[in-house]
A and B are shown apart, each in its own frame.
Chain A
Amino acid sequence: MRPSVIATDFVASIKTWSRSKGTLFWTLAFPIMLILIFGAIFSGIGETEYTLHIQDLDGSEMSRSFIESLNGTGAIKTKIVTSSENITSYIDENSIDRLVVIPKGYEETINKSFIDQNTSVNLSFYLDPGEQTSNQVVISVVSSVIQSFNMKLTGGRNIIGIEQISTIPEEFTFFDFFLPGMIGFTIMQTCVYGSIERNTKFRKDGILRKLLTTPITRTEWILSKMLFMLFLSFISTSLIIAVGIIVYGISVHITPLMIIIIIAASFLFSGLGMLIGRFVKDEETADTAGGAITFPMMFLAGTFFQLEMMPEFLQAFARVLPLYYVNEGLRNAMTYMNQSEAILNTIAVIIFASVFFIAGVLLTKWKED
């Protein structure tokens, strides 16, 4: 094995790739477009009006007038939570983004403060940290209402304050679910079509035959191509993550397991592409066959929609699809942070990868008949 030969072929692949508008589109622009389109569909609903849940434990004249003032701003809609509810479990169960608790003794403390300059009362503000932008809006509305209360009551001294509490939401946003799926899907597309091209177009064009008569070895050829596939996988992953962070403010964790899954998935889908290219000789037909395999897999393996939304038998079917484990593994490793599940998924992906890649290499016909 000669590293210089691998480097030569790797560089040629990158040059070829970067010069083709078509492949640049499919590997870079298309996934981003999909994210933006799905983002617009799933997050554009009802965001002009912000809901703020309020639990009024005081139930006094003053607490009611505070709630009234919040409503009076027109910028937020308040919803009253009965005082008997346990707040933390209520937030969990109803996936509440923002909730303010007016403590018991609110009115009493304010009245006391006219005599004792040092007393003050804090409202508890529960916030989902994943909802950065809408939180900003609601916090500023609430703060300005508090500010005007402080003005009215004392002429500027802060009697009422806010104590911010971050909630840890059980429910993740759609993007925490969708982004890893998008990464899995993109790696699948890139690697399947990449290997189909090498095994059909390169064969038809005589490039494989030509290479058989040169000193490049099969190992060098496969290694350099896999290096290139990994390069593409990591480029698209980085882009998708960047868009997720910049546009949707999701929090992503780059973990070793995530890296392992991306590498294994690249081998897995390259192997799948080799198998398709092995049995369907004509390039166009092979592309169609590739679509016929990857397209249903994309839907069934829970890339865009949660598996639970599908009927039982489809859910069972999804569990034999390699993409399912790639998607779930990436979710558990990079957004849900579910280490033990992530390890199981990773093992599944590695097993699939070994089977597909080894079968792909062994069954590919390197020589002519």
Chain B
Amino acid sequence: MIEKRFKCPDCGKVASHSGMPGEIKIIYCPYCGSKGRARLPELKHIEDLAIEVSGLRKIYGDLVAVNDISFSVKKGEIFAFLGPNGAGKTTTVEMIESIRQPTAGTIKLSGKDIKTHFNDIKKNIGVLPQEFHSFERLTVRETLVYFSKLYKKRADINKIIESMDLKSCEKTLYKNLSGGLRQRVGVAISLVNDPDIVFLDEPTTGLDPKARRDVWNVIAGLRDNGKTVFLTTHYMEEAEYLADHIAIIHRGKIIAEGSLNELIERYGHGSLLRIKRCKTDDAVKTLREKGFDASSEGNGNIAVKIDYKDRVLDVLSNLRHECIEYESIDIRRSNLEEIFLQLTGAKLTGEEIA
């Protein structure tokens, strides 16, 4: 059985379905119920791996920045490397890009070892370094032309400008661009050689929500064009929205890996029902007696873990039976933030995400 994510054409929500490789089946959107036909992808073979990393280590003095990690990225997927500040994301991605020298481990891109084949590999990768800031006094178009002339194989710059939605600023000097546009130009630069694999190191850090969405759309478009995307981020929403496959890195180690649904299934707790403004002690006592996993969250709120949806009604009817009043309820699915918290006891990010 394999699992495939899809975006519902009617309600726009992302869900997943599973089945045998290559199987064609009728699927239903779990959010709006609309129906459609989909085909599951063929099983991936080893030749279909864009990136293979094994036993990768990087030591700085006493600090083990990357601690013996192994993973692989399939061709054509968006792979998110998710972790908090200082987790070792940039160190890892820059070792893959041959910018930093690993202490140990092997890295293969499209089956070729980067130690021996990097000059070849260079032609087929596109890189956006973290906090990249291009030449200030070249226009967007000049910048793209500059970088494309470094390569023999060149993509059509007009098409890149169009697909990255940069037409309106192509004559603007880089230094006069907003942060969001700069990042889009950065992504555009990484495409000038029509690469197979694109590396984006924190492409949306520091952007406002609107600009972040725009960059997300651009990145999602890369996958549609058949590119493999290796994305590092510390925004769990970014990984949830974009990634086919997520690796969570913490203190130089990969602590969890899989598709979003796999991660939630494996490490999440289903959904959480929150009952607001009730007599917490009574409510928790009542629900625990009935076998629910309930706990007080303070402020008169309690949280109850729900493994399937009918249980919500059970909880509420139990409360009514005991005449426990409450103001409101809400139900939330587990997310990466909670998974991260659960795995590490630490928060992924202090920043709010829109």
Q: Which residues of the partner chain B approach A19 to less than 8 Å between Cβ atoms? A: 137, 173
B151 partner, pick from A210, A212, A215, beta carbons under 8 A: A215
The CA-CA distance from A207 to B97 in the complex, in Å, is: 14
| B:253-308 near A, CB below 8 Å | none
The CA-CA distance from A209 to B199 in the complex, in Å, is: 13
Chain A residue nearest to B129 in the complex (CB): A206
| B:59-105 near A, CB below 8 Å | 60, 94, 97-101
Whether B208 sits at the interface, judged by CB under 8 Å, is no
**Quick check: A367 and B99 within 8 Å, CB to CB?**
yes
Q: Which residues of the partner chain B approach A12 to less than 8 Å between Cβ atoms? A: 135, 138, 142, 146
Whether B23 sits at the interface, judged by CB under 8 Å, is no
Chain B residue nearest to A12 in the complex (CB): B146
Whether B241 sits at the interface, judged by CB under 8 Å, is no
**Quick check: A15 and B138 within 8 Å, CB to CB?**
yes
Q: Which residues of the partner chain A approach B210 to less than 8 Å between Cβ atoms? A: none
Whether B188 sits at the interface, judged by CB under 8 Å, is no
Q: Which residues of the partner chain B approach A8 to less than 8 Å between Cβ atoms? A: 146, 149-150
The CA-CA distance from A19 to B142 in the complex, in Å, is: 13
A114 CB → nearest B CB, Å: 80
With contacts A8-B149, A210-B129, A215-B123 taken as known, whether A368 is within 8 angstroms of B137 at the C-beta atoms is: no
The CA-CA distance from A19 to B138 in the complex, in Å, is: 9
Whether B191 sits at the interface, judged by CB under 8 Å, is no
Chain B residue nearest to A212 in the complex (CB): B99
Q: How many A-B residue pairs have CB under 8 A?
A: 75
With a 10 A CB-CB cut-off, give which of B147, B149, B152 has the most chain A CB atoms: B149
The CA-CA distance from A207 to B189 in the complex, in Å, is: 12
B186 CB → nearest A CB, Å: 9
Chain A residue nearest to B100 in the complex (CB): A368
A200 CB → nearest B CB, Å: 13
Mark contacts of B118-150 with chain A using CB atoms, 8 A cut-off: 1 yes-contact digit, 0 otherwise. 010011010111111111111000100011011
With a 10 A CB-CB cut-off, give which of A205, A209, A214 has the most chain B CB atoms: A214
**Quick check: B132 and A205 within 8 Å, CB to CB?**
yes
B-side interface mostly? loop
Q: Which residues of the partner chain B approach A4 to less than 8 Å between Cβ atoms? A: 149
Whether A16 sits at the interface, judged by CB under 8 Å, is yes
Q: Which residues of the partner chain A approach B151 to less than 8 Å between Cβ atoms? A: 214-215
A205 partner, pick from B123, B134, B193, beta carbons under 8 A: B134
**Quick check: B147 and A214 within 8 Å, CB to CB?**
yes
The CA-CA distance from A19 to B173 in the complex, in Å, is: 10
B79 CB → nearest A CB, Å: 18
**Quick check: B98 and A16 within 8 Å, CB to CB?**
no
Chain A residue nearest to B135 in the complex (CB): A16
**Quick check: A16 and B129 within 8 Å, CB to CB?**
no
**Quick check: B129 and A209 within 8 Å, CB to CB?**
yes
Whether A216 sits at the interface, judged by CB under 8 Å, is yes
The CA-CA distance from A369 to B119 in the complex, in Å, is: 20
**Quick check: A215 and B99 within 8 Å, CB to CB?**
no
The CA-CA distance from A167 to B151 in the complex, in Å, is: 63
With a 10 A CB-CB cut-off, give which of B125, B150, B151 has the most chain A CB atoms: B150
Q: Which residues of the partner chain A approach B131 to less than 8 Å between Cβ atoms? A: 205-206
The CA-CA distance from A211 to B132 in the complex, in Å, is: 11
Q: Which residues of the partner chain A approach B97 to less than 8 Å between Cβ atoms? A: 209, 212-213
B199 CB → nearest A CB, Å: 8
B148 CB → nearest A CB, Å: 9
| A:183-206 near B, CB below 8 Å | 204-206
Whether A257 sits at the interface, judged by CB under 8 Å, is no
Whether A94 sits at the interface, judged by CB under 8 Å, is no
**Quick check: B152 and A215 within 8 Å, CB to CB?**
yes
**Quick check: A215 and B94 within 8 Å, CB to CB?**
no
| B:35-51 near A, CB below 8 Å | none
Chain A residue nearest to B152 in the complex (CB): A215
**Quick check: B136 and A214 within 8 Å, CB to CB?**
no
**Quick check: A207 and B60 within 8 Å, CB to CB?**
no
Q: Which residues of the partner chain A approach B147 to less than 8 Å between Cβ atoms? A: 214
The CA-CA distance from A9 to B150 in the complex, in Å, is: 9
**Quick check: A213 and B98 within 8 Å, CB to CB?**
yes
Mark contacts of A1-29 with chain B using CB atoms, 8 A cut-off: 1 yes-contact digit, 0 otherwise. 00011001100100110011000000000
B151 CB → nearest A CB, Å: 6
**Quick check: A213 and B122 within 8 Å, CB to CB?**
yes
B175 CB → nearest A CB, Å: 10
Q: Which residues of the partner chain A approach B60 to less than 8 Å between Cβ atoms? A: 369
Mark contacts of A201-239 with chain B using CB atoms, 8 A cut-off: 1 yes-contact digit, 0 otherwise. 000111101111111100000000000000000000000
The CA-CA distance from A20 to B136 in the complex, in Å, is: 9
The CA-CA distance from A8 to B134 in the complex, in Å, is: 15
A2 CB → nearest B CB, Å: 9
**Quick check: A205 and B119 within 8 Å, CB to CB?**
no
| A:328-345 near B, CB below 8 Å | none
Q: Which residues of the partner chain A approach B137 to less than 8 Å between Cβ atoms? A: 15-16, 19-20
Q: Which residues of the partner chain B approach A212 to less than 8 Å between Cβ atoms? A: 97-99
B133 partner, pick from A206, A215, A369, beta carbons under 8 A: A206
Q: Which residues of the partner chain A approach B130 to less than 8 Å between Cβ atoms? A: 206
**Quick check: A369 and B150 within 8 Å, CB to CB?**
no
B99 partner, pick from A5, A15, A368, beta carbons under 8 A: A368
Chain A residue nearest to B149 in the complex (CB): A8
A9 CB → nearest B CB, Å: 8
Q: Which residues of the partner chain A approach B101 to less than 8 Å between Cβ atoms? A: 367
The CA-CA distance from A187 to B143 in the complex, in Å, is: 28
B352 CB → nearest A CB, Å: 27
The 4 nearest A-B residue pairs measured at CB: A206-B129, A205-B133, A206-B132, A19-B137
24 A-B Cβ contacts within 8 A? Answer: A12-B142, A15-B142, A16-B135, A16-B136, A16-B138, A205-B131, A205-B132, A205-B133, A207-B133, A207-B135, A209-B94, A209-B97, A210-B127, A210-B128, A212-B98, A213-B98, A214-B147, A214-B193, A215-B122, A215-B151, A367-B99, A368-B94, A368-B100, A369-B100
Apart from the given pairs A209-B97, A211-B150, 6 other A-B contacts in the complex at a CB distance below 8 Å: A15-B138, A16-B137, A20-B137, A210-B189, A213-B99, A216-B150
